[in-house]
Amino acid sequence: MAVEEQEVKALASLMTFKCAVVDVPFGGAKGGIRIDPAKYTERELQLITSEYASQLIRYKFLSPALDVPAPDMGTGPREMAWIVHQYKSMNPEDINFSGCVTGKPVSQGGIRGRSAATGLGVFFCVREALIDGATLKKVGLSAGTHGKTVVVQGFGNVGSHAAQFCHTDGKMKVVAIGERDGAILNPEGLDVPALIKHFNQHKTFKGFAGGEFRPGDSKWVLEEKCDVLIPAAMENVLNQGNAARVKAKIVVEAANGPTTAAATDIIEANGAIIVPDLLANAGGVTVSYFEWLKNLQHVRFGRMTRRAEEAKWRSVLEVLNPHNVSAEKLAALSEGADEQKLVFSGLEDTMVQSFADIRALAANKSINLRTAAYVLAITKVASYYRELGIFS
């Protein structure tokens, strides 16, 4: 509902640089419809989305070769499926029609793992920050994720998945989570999978037995003491008014632009590290790229190799240990990678390498991670155009 032209332009620029940072060969664009989805029926939303897509298609602003939208705030797989349907109806001869958007349902050409991708990318950034010696020395933390405390602001698709991966894969203690109608706290750590189940059923933290629910404005969770703060909701939530009260040692920006320039200066002056949104929430566009590749290749990832891998590893294991491995263990060890495993593996490689590149540049130039991310992105974009001979 708050979408406006300057915001869209800024986000489009951000998207250009974000793609460059993670070596995704997309350009950068953003768009939106200025409505509150909660005030419309599903049928009305479908008509609005289809008309929006129709205008983009008619003026050649949307196709697998021109612009490939993905879901953002207020949208999801359902809306992406509507856009694909509209594109196909207007371009029946395009066999690559499913590549006109990403974030689709799997049944409509989507890719397994896409819904969790941004949150998982955030977790990879948290993990990399907590194994980097220079970062740990600056903030005074021991290496590793185990037992570290986390606060998350925003429990939508990104925040909930980031919290879940921190809890399950990182063995971290998620001590507070803020949402629109209140926050939930537990100093001993929330049971995130149980909380997700409760929230999906009730659309609120209220009534969850595993923590203290505090109704009302939950932005105060940004000021809770923790090792890692993950703002995963709106832009500008960390600003000059509250930055001095931020107690986190590492801030990982899961939302777009959650920290203002003034707040960045204050938070970093107080000794904290900020992992910028340019990298931290790039998991979504990375896996969108994988989905686009899948759509153009017209084959599911792993379909051509999974069984061959299983047969190969089963043969190797049988030769190395023919008697001491049970049939169940043998099957688990020799299991070939399916689409989701391949997607998550590719995402991990992308985030780890990009984080390393930014960290090295920051150290070499004595700049913060945000500046390093922009320097890296702009350098890549400039190199591309220089190689085309557009810039001397």
Query: What is d(CA 261, CA 176) in angstroms, rounded to the nearest whole number?
Result: 25
Domain parsing of the chain, residue ranges? 32-110, 116-302+337-392
Please report the pLDDT score of residue 322 as a whole number: 61
SS3 call for 1: coil
Residue 298's Cβ-count burial label (10 Å; 0-12, 13-18, 19+) is exposed
Is residue 348 within 8 Å of 165, Cβ to Cβ? Answer: no
**Rounded (10°) CA dihedral 218, 220, 224, 228:** 70
Q: Which CATH architecture has domain 32-110?
A: 3-Layer(aba) Sandwich (3.40)
Query: What is d(CA 282, CA 357) in angstroms, rounded to the nearest whole number?
Result: 15
Cα–Cα distance list, 253 to 100, 138, 319 (Å): 28, 19, 48
Confidence of residue 331 (pLDDT cuts 50, 70, 90): confident
Report pLDDT digits (tens) over 222-233: 999 999 999 999
- Contacts for 192 with CB less than 8 Å, ≥ 6 apart: 160, 163, 164, 166, 167, 168, 174
Phi, psi of 182 (to 5 degrees): 155, -175
Q: How far is CA 5 from the centre of its chain?
A: 24
104 has catalytic annotation: no
Query: What is d(CA 18, CA 73) in angstroms, rounded to the nearest whole number?
Result: 18
Nearest in space to 63 (alpha carbons), one of 93, 108, 24: 93
Is 32-110's fold the same as 116-302+337-392's? yes
Query: What is d(CA 43, CA 6) in angstroms, rounded to the nearest whole number?
Result: 30
Confidence of residue 365 (pLDDT cuts 50, 70, 90): very high
Residue 149 has pLDDT above 70, yes or no: yes
Residue 392 has pLDDT above 60, yes or no: no
SS3 call for 131: coil
Report pLDDT digits (tens) over 11-65: 899 899 999 999 998 888 899 899 989 899 999 999 999 999 999 999 999 999 9
Query: What is d(CA 97, CA 38) in angstroms, rounded to the nearest whole number?
Result: 29
Cα–Cα distance list, 57 to 52, 63, 88, 117, 374 (Å): 9, 7, 10, 27, 32
Sign of torsion, CA 15 16 22 25?
A: positive
Considering the candidates 9, 18, 30, 329, report the single residue annotated as catalytic: 30
Phi, psi of 36 (to 5 degrees): -100, 105
Is residue 156 within 8 Å of 248, Cβ to Cβ? Answer: no
What tokens does 179 get?
A: 């949402």
Question: Which of 98-112, 251-265, 326-340, 359-373 is least confident?
Answer: 326-340
Please report the pLDDT score of residue 286 as a whole number: 95
Superfamily in which the 116-302+337-392 domain is placed by CATH: NAD(P)-binding Rossmann-like Domain (3.40.50.720)
Confidence of residue 307 (pLDDT cuts 50, 70, 90): confident
Instruction: Report which of residues 327 and 287 the model is more confident about.
Output: 287
Number of neighbours of residue 269 by Cβ within 10 angstroms: 10
What pTM, to 2 d.p., does this model score? 0.89
